Structure 1
Amino acid sequence: MARQAPRRSGTRRPNSRNQRPAARRRDNEGLLPVLARAVREVETAVQRGAAVSVRTKFQVVALLVREERARVNADTSTSESVRAGELKRLDGVATILAQTAARDTSLLALLAEDANVSDSAQSLRREMLAQAGMAAPPEELELPEAPLEVPGTERRVVPQSVISRQLANPFLPPDYEAARERTARPRRLAGWELLGPLFRSFEYAGSGAPSCMALPEPASLDAPGGMTLMPHQAEMVAAAAAGHRSFLLADEPGLGKTAQALLAAEATKSYPLLVVVPNVVKTNWAREAGLWTPQRPVTVIHGNGHSVDGFAEIVVVNYEILDRHVGWLADFGFRGMVVDEAHFIKNKSSQRSQHVLELSQRIRARAGRPLLMALTGTPLINDIEDFRAIWQFLGWIDDTKPLGRLMESLEETGLTPADFGFYAAARQCVIDAGIVRRRKADVAADIPARRIADLPVELDDEEGRSIRKAEADLAARLVARYESALATRRSGAVVDGIDHELVRRVATWEREDTTTATGENVFGMMRRIGQAKAAMAADYAAQLARNVGKVVFFAKHVDVMDIAEETFAKRGIRYASIRGDQTTPQRTKQIDSFVNDPEVSVVVCSLTAAGVGINLQVASNLVLAELSWTDAEQTQAIDRVHRIGQAEPVTAWRIIATQTLDTKIAELIDLKAGLAARALDGSDEDVSSSADLQLEALVALLTEALSA
C-alpha cells in the first residue's frame, strides 16, 4: 500500500503537466492566432500612415471577429469557461481594431453593415480561414467562370422573339472600335495600390473643387420629335457626340437625366441599347423614349418576356427580373447600356449588381467602346466606396486597379500616392473620365428654392408614454453593457469621463444583437414612433390640402399609410395611393388621378416605392410622416415635387416626435446630408462619410444617458 500511494500521485502529475501544453496548443491553433497576427499588421501599418494598404485586411479581420463571436456564443459543445476565454481574446482583437480606426476614421466605413465587401476581401477571407484550418461555407466558395453555370440558371429564359431575331441575323456585325481600343500598361505606378487613394481623393476635396468634367458648347438645343433640350442637357449630349463614351451622370434629381441618356445614345448610334431600371420607372422609360427618340422602337421586358420585341433597338428591363434574362441579354449585341438609379448596384455582393457587372463586361469585351451610362442623383448613400461598383460598371476600374484611359491619365500626372498633389490630380482624372454633376442652383435658375420645415409633435397619449419607457429601457440596457464592459476590461486604461471608444463598441454590440429578448431594438422603436404620429401627420396634410391645394404624403411603413388613408377618408378628403405591391397600370392610374383630377387632394406614397422615377410637381407641399435611415432617400422623395416643371416654392414638412429617438435621427440625417456635397460639390461641410445612422443613434442615446 505504501508503494501504491506514490503511483497514484504519480499518475496525477503527468495529467496536470499535460493540461498546460494542451491549453497552449489550443491558444496557437484555429482562427484566433490568425486574427491576432493580422490585426497587429493592420495596427502597425496605420501607425506608419499606410492605412490605404491594409483597408481590405482591416475589414476582413472585423468580419471574421464578428462571425467568430457568433460561432463561439452558439457553440454548446465547449464549457462556459472555454467560451469566456475565447470571447475575451476576441474582445482584445476588437479593441485593437477600434483603436486603429480611431487613428484613421476613414476605416470606420468598413465596419458598417452594408459596407461593400469586395472580391479581394472575400479572397483574403477565404485565405485566412484556410490558414486557420477552416473551410469557407459552400455559398461563399468561388463561382465557376462560365456565366451560365451559376445557381439560379434554371430561372433563365429566352423569349421566342429573341430567338427569331437570332435566326434572322445569326452574325453580329463587327465592331472595329474594339481593335482601336488601347490597353494601358502601368509603368511608374506599377505596384502601387491605387483604388484606395482614388476613393480618398473625393473625401479630401476642398471647397470649390470641380465636380463635373469639361463639357463642350452644344451646337443646338433641338431634339428629335420637335422636343427642346435645356442647355445643360445639350452639353452632355454634345460630349457624347464628340467621342466620350462613359458617364456617371450624377445631376441632382429632376434635371432630366433620362432625356440626356436617350439622346446620348442617339448621338453615338449606340444601338441596340440596354436600359436597366427599377421596376417603378420602366414604363416611364418607354414613354420617354417615345418622346425623345420616336424613330427608335422600344420594348419593355415583363416577367418571362413573352411580349418582348426581339427586333427593338431599345430594351428596358428592371433589376428584379434581370436574373431571368441575363443570359440572352449578354449575347444580344448591345452597343450601349444605361443603368438608372445606379446606387442600386453599390453592394457588389448582391445578385443584381453581379448581373449588371457581368453584362457590362460582356458588352465592353465585344463592342470595345460602347456607350455606358450610370444615372443617379444620389451616387453616395453611406460611403465614398459606394462609387466602386459604378466605376467598375463603367469600365474605369476592376477589382484591383484602374483600367484603360483612367490609368493612362494617372500615369500622365507624373505623381504617385506618396507625392504632394496626387489626390487632387487623381480626383480630376476620375472626373475627366466622365463624371457629370450639375446642381439645380447651377443650371436651372428658374426652379424655385425648396426648404425642409420641421413640425414637432407631442406624443402625450398612452402609446407615447410606452415609447418613451421603451427608449428609457434601451438606454438603461446600453448603460448596463457599458458598465459591465468597463468593469471587465483587461487593458487597465483609465479614461477621465466617458470612454467614447467604448461607447461606440457597446452601441455596435447592441445593433448586432438581433436576438435581444429584454426589450425593443432601435428599428422596432422607430416603427412604433411612425405609427404613433401617423394620425397627426395625416391631420396636418389634410389642413394643408384645404388651404394650399394638392399635397404629397410620404410614409415608410404600410401600417402608417393605412392610418393616414383612414384619416383622410374620415375627413372627406379624396386621395390616391402609390404602394410597392401595385401593378404598373394600377400605379399609373393612381398617379394620373392625383395629377389630373382636381378633386383628388392628397397622394399617399410609400417612401421606397414612390421615392424615385415619378413626377408629382403638380403639388408644392409634401409631408414626411416618417424619417428614413438615409438623407438620400429623403432627398429622392422631395425631388418628386421639386423638379423641372415646378412653378412654386417647395416645402417639405417633416413631422418630428419630440422627446423621442425621432429628434436624434432627424439631427443625424441633417448631419449626413453633407456627404455628397463634400465629395461631389466641393463643400467645406465637415460630415463623416462613414456615419451609420442606426449606430450613431445608439451612440447618441448612450452618451446622453451617461451624461445625465
Structure 2
Amino acid sequence: MSGQTKSATRARGNRRPRRTRRLDNEGIIPVLARAVREIEAEAQRGRVSPSARTRFQVVALLVREERNRVKADAETTETQRAEQLKRLDGVATILAKTAARDTSLLALLAEDAEVSDAARTLRRKMIEAAGLEVEDEPEQAAPEGDAVATVPERRVIPQSVIARQLAHPFQVPDFAGAAMRLEPKTHRLANWELIGPLLRSFELANGAPACLEMPDPRDRRTRDGLEMMRHQAQLVASVKEGHRTFLLADEPGLGKTAQALLAAQAADAFPLLVVVPNVVKTNWAREAVRWVPRHKATVIHGDGHDIDGFADIVIVNYEVLDRHVGWLGDLGFKGMVVDEAHFIKNRKSQRSQHVLGLADRIRERTVRPLMMALTGTPLINDIEDFTSIWQFLGWIDEKRPLSELMARLEETGLTPEDKAFYPSARRAVVDMGIVRRRKVDVAADIPARRIADIPVELDDEAGRSIRAAERELARRLVERYDRVMAARDEDKRVPGIDEELVRRVAEWERDETDDNASGENVFSMIRRIGTAKAPLAADYAAQLARSVGKVVVFAKHVDVMDACEELFAQRGIGYSSIRGNQTPKAREAAIDSFVNDPEVEIVVCSLTAAGVGLNLQVASNVVLAELSWTDAEQTQAIDRVHRIGQEEPVTAWRIIAAQTIDTRIAELIDSKAGLAARALDGSDEEVTASADIQVEAMVTLLTEALRKRRR
C-alpha cells in the first residue's frame, strides 16, 4: 500500500463520521462557525479577552487542518469539496475581520505561534463536539533560535568564581523552614485541574485591583539614610514581616529596581542573582551603588573574565545567561530577581528554561529565598503568559499549584464548580505576592516631572571605535596644550594644570570645528554615540510601550530616527514620525495618528523639528535617545508631554552611553540647568554661559588626560 493511500486510510479511520455526513449542521465546520461568531461579537464590543484569543487561535488552527483534509479527501466529490471550502472561507473571512479590529490577534496566526495547553484542550473539545475522534497531536518542535539546545552549550567559569568556590568549599543548606515544603493537610482539590480556573479567575476580575495588602511603613529611611517613597517602603516593610515572593508589576518610573535591591537587603538575601535585559544591566549596577552601597555588585559581560566572584550582587543579561548557568546554579544564591519577567513567558524557550532551572536550584539550597519577578506589563493582558512567572516564583509547577498556594485554595472550602471560587482563588494568588501600582495611584509620592537616566554599555565594535576616537581627540588637545606651554617663558608657566589654558585650548578646538567640519571632533563623536545607542534606545521604548502604552521618542539626527523606526517596524509596533522635512499636512497626520489611533504606540520626533509647538500629552513617558546640547532644548522636548491637562506624572528616560563623553555631557546639562534656574531666581550668575556645553565637554576630556599623565 502506498504512503499516500495509508495516510488517507488513517485519516478516514480517525474521522469516520465524515463518511456519512450529509447535513450542513454536522461535522467540524458548524462548530467553527459558532465559535468564530462568538469571537466576532466580543471584538465588536471592545477588547478581546484572553479566553477569546485562545478560541481565535484554535479556530484558525482547525480551519487550516480542515482545509488540508478536505483537499486531500479522495472520497469527496468536486461539488462537495467546493462547498466545504466555501464554508471554510467564510469562517476565515470572519477571522480576518476580527483580526483587523484587534491586530494583536495576527501574531496568533503565525506558523511559529506558541500553542498553549489551554488551546490544546479547547481544540480537543471542539473536535469532540463535532462528533469526531481526536488524533494525538504530533510532538511540536520548539521555535528555531529560541529552542532548548540539544547540542552541548558553551559554558564558562570565570577564575574569580573558582576562587570563591575554593574559599567556601562547604555550603550548608538551610533547613530552617523545611516545614514550608509539606503538602496541605487536606486534599479536597487534589484531583481538580486548577491552573485553568486560576487563569480564569483573573479574566473575571471586572477591574478589581491586583495588589497585595502591605503594611504601612514605620520608617521610610534606608539603612544608609536615603528616603524611600511610601509605596517603595511598603514593599520593604512586607519583606521585613516575612514575605518572600513578589510579582512586582509597578508601572515604569516607580522604582522597581530600588525596591528589589532594598528588599534583598531587608531579607539578607545575599548573594543575590539578578537577570536583566542587556539595555538595563549597567543601570542595575549604578542603582546598587546608590541604594545598597554596603553590598558590591558585579556585572557579567561576555564570558565574565572581569567579574568579581566575591560580590554580593551578580547581574547577568538574558543573552549570555546560557554560558554561565552552570556556575550560577552552584554559587549559593539566597535570592533571585528577574527583570522584565515577561521575557520568560514562553516556558519552552531556552532562556526560560535556564531561569526556571536556576530558580529551582536556589530553592533546593535555601528554603525561603527572596524571589522577585519585575515587569511593568499589566496583569490583565495575556494572563496565560504569567504562568511561567508563577512557576519561577514557586507558586505552581507545569501542572498544578504547589504547597503554599494549594493550602490557600484549600482554605477557601470551594471548588471550581462554585462561582465564589473564582474571586477567592484570585485573591489567593494575589496574596502570594502580586504588587501592582500605577503612577496615577501614587502621584502624591513622585514628582510631576522627572528625568531618569538609563546608562547603557556600548560593548560592540562601534563602542570600541567611539572610545578610540575620544582618546584621539584627547591626544590632540593635549598636544596643542603642550605646544603652547613649551612656547611660554619659564616664569609664565603655571605649576600643575593651567585651567585657563585648558579652556582656551577647548575653545580653539570648538572654533576650528565650526570652521572645518572634517576629521574627528566632539560633534561627530556625539553623532556616532547616538547612532550606536539607537537600537538600545528603541528597545527600551518598545518595552515601555508594551508596559504603559504610548511613548514619545526624541532624537537629534535623522539616522538615529531611522534606526529606531526600523526596529519598531521589525517588531510590528505601530509608530508615526515627526521630522523637519515634512509638509504641514504630513506633520498633522503624524500627530493625529499618534494621538487618536490606538495601534500607533510610539511617535519618533526630531529634537529640533518637534521640540516646540506640539501637544503630545496622550503619553506620559518620553525617551531621549540622544542628548541635546542645552537643558532648554531638552526641557522643550519633555514639555511636549508635560503640559496643562496632563493627568499623570511625566518621566523622561534619558539613554546615556556609559564610559563615554556622553556621561559627562549629561552631567554638564544638569549642572547648567541648576545654574540657569538660580539665575532666573535672581542670582548674578551669567545664564548665557550655561549654553556652551561643547567647550565644557572638551575641557573635561583635556583635564582628565592631563591628570592621567601626571600620575
TM class, shorter-chain normalised?
0.5 to 0.7
Gaps of 5+ in 1: 1-20, 47-51, 451-521, 544-554, 572-586, 603-615, 624-634, 648-708
8 Å Cα contact 1:72/1:86 also seen in 2: no
Partner SS for 1:224: coil
Who is 1:434 aligned against? 433
1:362 aligns with 2:355: no
Equivalences for 1:74-113 in 2 at 5 Å?
A: 85=81, 88=84, 112-113=108-109
Partner SS for 2:170: coil
Is the alpha carbon distance of 1:22 and 1:280 closer, same or farther for their aligned partners in structure 2, counting shifts above 3 Å? closer
Distance in 2 between residues matched to 1:190 and 1:43, nearest whole Å: 36
Is the alpha carbon distance of 1:637 and 1:188 closer, same or farther for their aligned partners in structure 2, counting shifts above 3 Å? same
8 Å Cα contact 2:579/2:606 also seen in 1: yes
Partner SS for 1:373: strand
Distance in 2 between residues matched to 1:62 and 1:373, nearest whole Å: 36
Amino acid at match of 1:28: R
Aligned-pair CA distance for 1:434 = 0.6
Who is 1:621 aligned against? 640
Amino acid at match of 1:188: R
Partner SS for 1:316: strand
8 Å Cα contact 2:607/2:637 also seen in 1: no
Equivalences for 1:525-604 in 2 at 5 Å?
A: 530=576, 534-535=579-580, 564=606, 593-594=627-628, 597-598=629-630, 601=633
Aligned-pair CA distance for 1:225 = 2.8
8 Å Cα contact 2:439/2:648 also seen in 1: no
8 Å Cα contact 1:56/1:120 also seen in 2: no
Who is 2:21 aligned against? none
1:136 aligns with 2:139: yes
Distance in 2 between residues matched to 1:440 and 1:372, nearest whole Å: 24
Distance in 2 between residues matched to 1:328 and 1:82, nearest whole Å: 63
Is the alpha carbon distance of 1:348 and 1:109 closer, same or farther for their aligned partners in structure 2, counting shifts above 3 Å? farther
Equivalences for 1:400-549 in 2 at 5 Å?
A: 400-445=399-444, 447=446, 530=576, 534-535=579-580
Amino acid at match of 1:442: D
1:203 aligns with 2:203: yes
Distance in 1 between residues matched to 2:571 and 2:376, nearest whole Å: 30
Aligned-pair CA distance for 1:345 = 2.0
Partner SS for 1:315: strand
8 Å Cα contact 1:198/1:427 also seen in 2: yes
Distance in 2 between residues matched to 1:252 and 1:71, nearest whole Å: 45
8 Å Cα contact 1:265/1:371 also seen in 2: yes
Who is 1:275 aligned against? 274
Distance in 1 between residues matched to 2:118 and 2:571, nearest whole Å: 37
Aligned-pair CA distance for 1:449 = 6.3
Aligned-pair CA distance for 1:190 = 2.1
Aligned-pair CA distance for 1:182 = 2.8
Gaps of 5+ in 2: 19-25, 37-48, 128-132, 450-567, 589-599, 613-622, 655-669, 671-711
8 Å Cα contact 1:342/1:379 also seen in 2: no
Distance in 2 between residues matched to 1:301 and 1:524, nearest whole Å: 28
Distance in 2 between residues matched to 1:432 and 1:617, nearest whole Å: 43
Report which of the two structures shows the higher radius of gyration computed on alpha carbons. Answer: 2
Equivalences for 1:103-502 in 2 at 5 Å?
A: 112-113=108-109, 117-118=115-116, 132=135, 135-136=138-139, 150-151=149-150, 153-177=152-176, 179-185=178-184, 187-206=187-206, 209-380=208-379, 382-445=381-444, 447=446
Is the alpha carbon distance of 1:169 and 1:523 closer, same or farther for their aligned partners in structure 2, counting shifts above 3 Å? closer
Amino acid at match of 2:139: A
Partner SS for 1:374: strand
Distance in 1 between residues matched to 2:291 and 2:116, nearest whole Å: 38
Who is 2:62 aligned against? 65
Partner SS for 1:154: coil
Distance in 1 between residues matched to 2:246 and 2:261, nearest whole Å: 13
Aligned-pair CA distance for 1:391 = 1.2
Query: Deviation string for 1:412-435 (max 9, x for gaps)?
Result: 011111223211111111111111
Who is 1:609 aligned against? none
Distance in 1 between residues matched to 2:649 and 2:159, nearest whole Å: 39
Distance in 2 between residues matched to 1:565 and 1:394, nearest whole Å: 43
Is the alpha carbon distance of 1:639 and 1:202 closer, same or farther for their aligned partners in structure 2, counting shifts above 3 Å? farther
Aligned-pair CA distance for 1:336 = 0.5
Is the alpha carbon distance of 1:89 and 1:217 closer, same or farther for their aligned partners in structure 2, counting shifts above 3 Å? same
Alignment counterpart, residue 28 of structure 1, candidates 2, 12, 16: 12
Is the alpha carbon distance of 1:37 and 1:245 closer, same or farther for their aligned partners in structure 2, counting shifts above 3 Å? farther
TM-score normalized by structure 2? 0.54
Is the alpha carbon distance of 1:234 and 1:183 closer, same or farther for their aligned partners in structure 2, counting shifts above 3 Å? same
Aligned-pair CA distance for 1:215 = 1.0
Partner SS for 1:215: coil
Is the alpha carbon distance of 1:139 and 1:375 closer, same or farther for their aligned partners in structure 2, counting shifts above 3 Å? closer
Aligned-pair CA distance for 1:211 = 2.5
Aligned-pair CA distance for 1:121 = 6.5
Partner SS for 1:358: helix
Who is 2:695 aligned against? none
Q: Single out whichever of 332-341 and 383-392 deviates more from structure 2.
A: 383-392
Amino acid at match of 1:112: L
8 Å Cα contact 2:249/2:377 also seen in 1: yes
8 Å Cα contact 1:303/1:321 also seen in 2: yes
Aligned-pair CA distance for 1:214 = 1.7
Distance in 2 between residues matched to 1:430 and 1:525, nearest whole Å: 32
Q: Single out whichever of 252-261 and 63-72 deviates more from structure 2.
A: 63-72
8 Å Cα contact 1:225/1:291 also seen in 2: no
Partner SS for 1:372: strand
Of structures 1 and 2, the one with the larger relative CO (CA 8 A, separation 6+) is: 1
Amino acid at match of 1:226: G
Who is 1:453 aligned against? none
Partner SS for 2:162: helix
8 Å Cα contact 1:251/1:436 also seen in 2: yes
Is the alpha carbon distance of 1:220 and 1:87 closer, same or farther for their aligned partners in structure 2, counting shifts above 3 Å? farther
Aligned-pair CA distance for 1:170 = 2.5
Partner SS for 1:274: strand
8 Å Cα contact 2:55/2:119 also seen in 1: no
8 Å Cα contact 1:42/1:58 also seen in 2: no
Is the alpha carbon distance of 1:445 and 1:358 closer, same or farther for their aligned partners in structure 2, counting shifts above 3 Å? same
Equivalences for 1:689-704 in 2 at 5 Å?
A: none
Is the alpha carbon distance of 1:600 and 1:71 closer, same or farther for their aligned partners in structure 2, counting shifts above 3 Å? farther
Partner SS for 2:191: coil
Identity of aligned residues (%): 47
Who is 1:15 aligned against? none
Distance in 2 between residues matched to 1:133 and 1:409, nearest whole Å: 35
Aligned-pair CA distance for 1:410 = 0.8
Who is 1:502 aligned against? none
